[in-house]
Structure 1
Amino acid sequence: MKKSLLRLCLFLISTTVFSQIYITNVTIIDVENQKLIPSQTVEITGNKISNIQSSKKVKIQESSTIIDGTNKFLAPGLVDAHVHFSQSGGLYTRPDVIDLKNELSYETEIAWTHDNMEDVLRRYLKNGITNVIDVGSTFNFLKQRKDFENSDHSPIINMTGPLLTTYEPAAFKGLENDNPFILVKTEEEGIKMVQKELKHNPDFIKIWYIVGADGLDIETSARKNLPIIKAIIEESHKNNLKVAVHATQRITAQLAVENGADFLVHSVDDELITTEFANLLKKNNIILCPTLIVHDRYLKTFAQDYSFDNHELMESNPYQLGSLMDLSHIDNKELVDGYKTMASSQQSKTRSENMNSNMMTNLKTLVDAGVTIATGTDAGNIGTMHASSYQAEVLAMKESGMTNWQIIEASTINGAKVLGHENNLGSVSVGKQANLILLDKNPIENINNLTTIDQVINKGQVFKVDSIVEDTPEVLAQRQLNAYNSRNIDAFLEPYADDVEVYNFPDKLLFKGKDAMRSGYEAMFENTPNLHCELENRIVQGNVVIDEERVRFGDRFMEATAIYHIEKGKIKKVYFVN
């Protein structure tokens, strides 16, 4: 009797500890050999891939979790190799670029980034990004990331501390442990600051190699600051830490690589690179993150060109995306008009076109030379939203001439290589961590299919994609407001129920059903100049959201109140009080 009970206990313990997940009949996207392997069954035990074999041969254990992968594609989780958690992506996140502290204090902005870090992480996971690399953070975020180390809803977070820089913007001075910059003036200070960062356990060191701010020409300034750069790199390597360098000029990138840099976090945008330069990067095993979209996102925001696509309108944090449109109603008209004029000027457009052309051409040169490219967005900068901007970056890489296989390789195994994690992450391989995405469509045929995510497997845990981020009533109200101001009819209608009813308060029916709404709003979006809705106040009570709004139609303004009733995750009724 005792022996039988013992055997039963041991059986129950073993089935609990070693319970398994099987993804059956799936096509594996083999990023290392660039081939599709159909009809496979992938076995996951704990948080590791424990076996892969033909579905015809596998024997599935009883009481296992089975995921039917028929007609689906299994890829490694994606890596965003360039993000900034200390920046929200919203309008108020870079006071050194545009000073709006009279509209919203920077202390409020910083508090938001800390308070909403979990939401940001969940949005990354929902978009299939299971590893994020913060290439310029703060000591407070290095501390906060520990809160998410054991969270199944968080991607793996790799992070540096503040940027060691040859130039510190005045707007960030005095922020102590929330400062993303540490100014370094001498070689001795560089060594000392690396040692200071070590106390906070960063995964690597980042240098902001800014030149020209000292009044010298680019190359003279670069060479003047080079001893500091070299001292930081050498001290970091002594302590077994890799070094990432922000270098957007060819000369700063070249000098950084020649002096031991490991990771270049931007494209060279000031000139076309040579084959000799590309070979230097390849010889030194440099990984480069091109960050193609971030500059234009600033210009689009300042020009008030709110051309967000459906993906970004639905996947971004809606409050920070909405903040980008605040320039349409901020009272400081002189400041706003000045930025709009600058961003819309022919000079800015020509400069942007030249930079984009250089970056695109240079990326193709590097790829053709065999340099390792890792996908990264620079998310957190104004207009480059966390998680949702990833696909726009991917499409820009496609435009440069990269093949779909090259892009997927850059987005998975190459991202894992940045910090030497390729033996544990980055491909669908036995023994690697089970960070995977199950896709409904083949991204090798169309790179847009990277967004057709059915399920995410993160650290061995399975998530249906729609369960990762909660659409609260307030989120739905904000999302449709953002789409309204973007004049995007499809994204505007998405939060509404198919049988939605729209009333003039209290009971005059205006529209019933999405088709009727589409007819009315689509015509308004197309024909109304200067259409913009400013949210003046919001009250949330259970499943009801009450928005007090000021709406501009051309030269006219109207004060209104909209009352949204949410049922089953959709806006079911709307009442307008004029």
Structure 2
Amino acid sequence: MKNKFLLALLLLCPCAALLAQTYITNVTVVDVEKKRLIPNQTVVVTGNEITDIKKSNRIRVPENAQIVDGSEGYLIPGMVDAHIHFFQNGGLYARPDVIDLRAYQSITDEVALTKSDMEGKLRRYLKNGITTVIDVGSTYSFLEQRKEFTDKSHAPNIYVTGPLLTTYKPSIYEEYGPNDTPFTLTTTVEEGIAGVQEQLEHNPDFIKIWYIAGADGLSVAESAQKNLPIVKGIIEEAHRNNLKVAVHATQRVTAQLAVENGADFLVHSVDDEVLQEDFIQLMKQNEVVLCPTLIVSAGYTNTFGQRLEFSAHELQNADPYQLGSLLDLRHLSDTTVVEGYRQYANAPTTLARGKRTDSISKINLKLLSDAGVTIATGTDAGNIGTLHASSYLSELQAMQQSGMSNWKILEASTLNGAKILDLEDKMGSVAVGKTANLVLLNANPIADLKNLTQINTIINKGEVINPKELLKDSPEDLAQRQLNAYNLRDIDGFLEPYAEDVEVYSFPNTLLYTGKEIMRQQYSGMFANTPNLHCELKGRIVQGNVVIDQERVRFGSSFVEAIAIYHIEDGKIKKVYFVQ
């Protein structure tokens, strides 16, 4: 009888010994809660939970356990991007209400691409150490589609709102279907309440308000007061249903009114005036989280002004096709539109305004951070020029420029992201009892934020993942990446996809030269000395490991039509044939 009782107890109470265990050994734990580095630790993961952390000499590792050697590595909690948008791809065609390029990319095609590429975006985030994403303004389609990734180890944790509840809806979004529109127009309190109730059927994780003041022709202050009852009604209805509320408010008056009336999460910095002490203390007392999103505005103006620059990290980690699309303004046929946007973005008044708002945003971030307001890192990725996943490091560096310490930035990127939805007891730090969403780095992130990109291993939902296996470069990816760098005149970025012993031919079989260094010599001078250099991709054929590009290249005022044939071997471009 006793044996039967013990067997029943074991069946009813699964224990740690019956679950898969992983031991991360001899690692330095980055403690974001106490802001300290704890060397020579072994972290035990059982199932998808951290079950033990001790000095390595105090933990016995079973013979058959899965071991991750953390020697000379740094273990951080998985990072959080607290502000993304799945309904936007980050490329030139992401926001037709900002720049109408439907003649080149239809809304139907762009929406279809956002849906088909959701898994690609998620894999890209995870590859970059981001184990949680928060979509701050989505669609019913994505609320449904996220269910496909709930238990997938290759996908981050996903938290999503429904469409933005707003008193201003750009007319172009009337062309979107009911499940694909990112906006719900609410012109009365009743419509605002109904907007919340409609979303409840789709189980959003929180509610988002687009608090736009001044679009109705009134002054910002008058417009903010006029729409305040709607904003207040939405917040109250959401709270009645135990949902937090995020608010887009970039003016001090809208931000303050939102906070005074119960907003939980401000998703942008105030950029029109330096904050006063009363508002700072209001944010702190109400425990409102701020996501500063410092780089998103420049993404637009740098794209429109055709003055984009990308780091090696961005060139190698961004979606190469969306990054490439940002350079399309150099060859689109509607020169009137293109030139108008270029002149606007480069006008002295626009540049001065951008410099001023950027400065105010950074001043306000430092004031709020120093006062103890909870800051959460978010990029607003998906907007034109702010690419999914790869833009994260640039956001961190902008936060650093505001005066935040690396410790505070890492806290904002991990634990504080969890606090947005009251999940800090489940994630956000390396601690016993928390979900095993972890990133093993090869270098110390506190010494240099760039080390957050030096990712050795990812543990997501308890599963050990090699980041190189999450997204492998296709032959087409490599061809696109070198094309992007060519158009940016970035010689190192251009050479990166090529093999060291690359062979360059004039078709069909005349060898022109061999080796990357000769290629560097050939292209460096051209990049430096050729005005208006730009290659437009007119067509592409992919057959196995061969990519054939039809190109139209501008050299100054001249154009050359050419065919480039790229042969890929072992993940690099090994041979190139030019047909002219």
- Residue 160 of structure 1: aligned partner: 161
Q: Output the amino acid matched with 1:147.
A: E
Runs of 5+ in structure 2 lacking a partner?
none
Deviation at 1:420, TM superposition (A): 0.7
- Residue 438 of structure 1: aligned partner: 440
Deviation at 1:20, TM superposition (A): 1.0
Q: Output the amino acid matched with 2:575.
A: K
CA–CA separation in structure 2 for the residues paired with 1:244 and 1:487: 40
Deviation at 1:19, TM superposition (A): 2.3
SS state at 1:347 partner: helix
CA–CA separation in structure 2 for the residues paired with 1:547 and 1:402: 46
Deviation at 1:16, TM superposition (A): 8.9
Alignment of 1:454-533 (within 5 A): 454-533=456-535
SS state at 2:355 partner: helix
- Residue 133 of structure 2: aligned partner: 132
Q: Output the amino acid matched with 2:27.
A: V
Deviation at 1:15, TM superposition (A): 9.5
CA–CA separation in structure 2 for the residues paired with 1:269 and 1:150: 39
- Residue 83 of structure 1: aligned partner: 84
Q: Output the amino acid matched with 1:149.
A: T
Deviation at 1:17, TM superposition (A): 4.3
For 1:151-188, what per-residue CA distance to the aligned partner results, in whole angstroms no more than 9, with x for missing partners? 11000000000000010001101421100000001011
Q: Does residue 415 of the first structure (1) align with residue 417 of the second (2)? A: yes
Alignment of 1:78-477 (within 5 A): 78-175=79-176, 176-477=178-479
For 1:270-294, what per-residue CA distance to the aligned partner results, in whole angstroms no more than 9, with x for missing partners? 1111122111100000000000000
Deviation at 1:68, TM superposition (A): 0.9
Residues 80, 390 of structure 1: 8 Å contact kept: yes
Q: Output the amino acid matched with 2:336.
A: E
Q: Does residue 56 of the first structure (1) align with residue 80 of the second (2)? A: no
CA–CA separation in structure 1 for the residues paired with 2:174 and 2:206: 23
Runs of 4+ in structure 1 deviating by more than 2 angstroms, as ranges, are 13-17
Residues 19, 63 of structure 1: 8 Å contact kept: no
Residues 93, 106 of structure 1: 8 Å contact kept: no
CA–CA separation in structure 2 for the residues paired with 1:562 and 1:28: 49
Q: Does residue 562 of the first structure (1) align with residue 564 of the second (2)? A: yes
CA–CA separation in structure 2 for the residues paired with 1:488 and 1:517: 13
Which stretch shifts more, 500-509 or 262-271?
500-509
CA–CA separation in structure 2 for the residues paired with 1:522 and 1:432: 50
In structure 2, the CA distance between the partners of 1:14 and 1:404, relative to structure 1 (3 Å rule), is closer
- Residue 47 of structure 1: aligned partner: 48
- Residue 38 of structure 2: aligned partner: 37
SS state at 1:398 partner: helix
Residues 212, 249 of structure 2: 8 Å contact kept: yes
CA–CA separation in structure 2 for the residues paired with 1:308 and 1:296: 13
CA–CA separation in structure 1 for the residues paired with 2:154 and 2:249: 33
For 1:412-471, what per-residue CA distance to the aligned partner results, in whole angstroms no more than 9, with x for missing partners? 000000011100000000110100000011011111111111111110111112111010
Q: How many residues align?
A: 571
CA–CA separation in structure 1 for the residues paired with 2:215 and 2:550: 45
SS state at 1:372 partner: coil
SS state at 2:38 partner: strand
Report the RMSD for the aligned CA atoms in angstroms: 1.5
SS state at 2:447 partner: coil
Which stretch shifts more, 496-505 or 76-85?
496-505
CA–CA separation in structure 2 for the residues paired with 1:380 and 1:286: 24
CA–CA separation in structure 1 for the residues paired with 2:372 and 2:465: 36
Q: Output the amino acid matched with 2:418.
A: A
CA–CA separation in structure 1 for the residues paired with 2:31 and 2:225: 43
Q: Output the amino acid matched with 2:526.
A: M
CA–CA separation in structure 1 for the residues paired with 2:93 and 2:353: 24
Deviation at 1:511, TM superposition (A): 2.5
Which stretch shifts more, 486-495 or 338-347?
486-495
Deviation at 1:510, TM superposition (A): 2.0
Deviation at 1:22, TM superposition (A): 0.5
Deviation at 1:532, TM superposition (A): 0.5
Q: Does residue 547 of the first structure (1) align with residue 552 of the second (2)? A: no
Deviation at 1:513, TM superposition (A): 1.2
Residues 275, 369 of structure 1: 8 Å contact kept: no
CA–CA separation in structure 2 for the residues paired with 1:498 and 1:383: 31
Deviation at 1:515, TM superposition (A): 1.1
CA–CA separation in structure 1 for the residues paired with 2:132 and 2:413: 10
Deviation at 1:353, TM superposition (A): 0.6
CA–CA separation in structure 2 for the residues paired with 1:15 and 1:79: 28
Deviation at 1:306, TM superposition (A): 2.3
Q: Output the amino acid matched with 2:168.
A: Y
Deviation at 1:14, TM superposition (A): 8.4
Runs of 5+ in structure 1 lacking a partner?
none
Alignment TM-score, normalising by the size of structure 2: 0.97
CA–CA separation in structure 1 for the residues paired with 2:345 and 2:453: 31
Residues 187, 230 of structure 2: 8 Å contact kept: yes
Alignment TM-score, normalising by the size of structure 1: 0.97
SS state at 1:491 partner: helix
CA–CA separation in structure 1 for the residues paired with 2:344 and 2:514: 44
SS state at 1:182 partner: strand
Q: Output the amino acid matched with 2:113.
A: W
CA–CA separation in structure 2 for the residues paired with 1:337 and 1:99: 14
CA–CA separation in structure 2 for the residues paired with 1:106 and 1:322: 19
Residues 275, 365 of structure 1: 8 Å contact kept: no
SS state at 1:53 partner: strand
CA–CA separation in structure 1 for the residues paired with 2:569 and 2:17: 38
Residues 456, 462 of structure 1: 8 Å contact kept: yes
Residues 130, 435 of structure 1: 8 Å contact kept: yes
Deviation at 1:218, TM superposition (A): 0.5
CA–CA separation in structure 2 for the residues paired with 1:17 and 1:460: 15
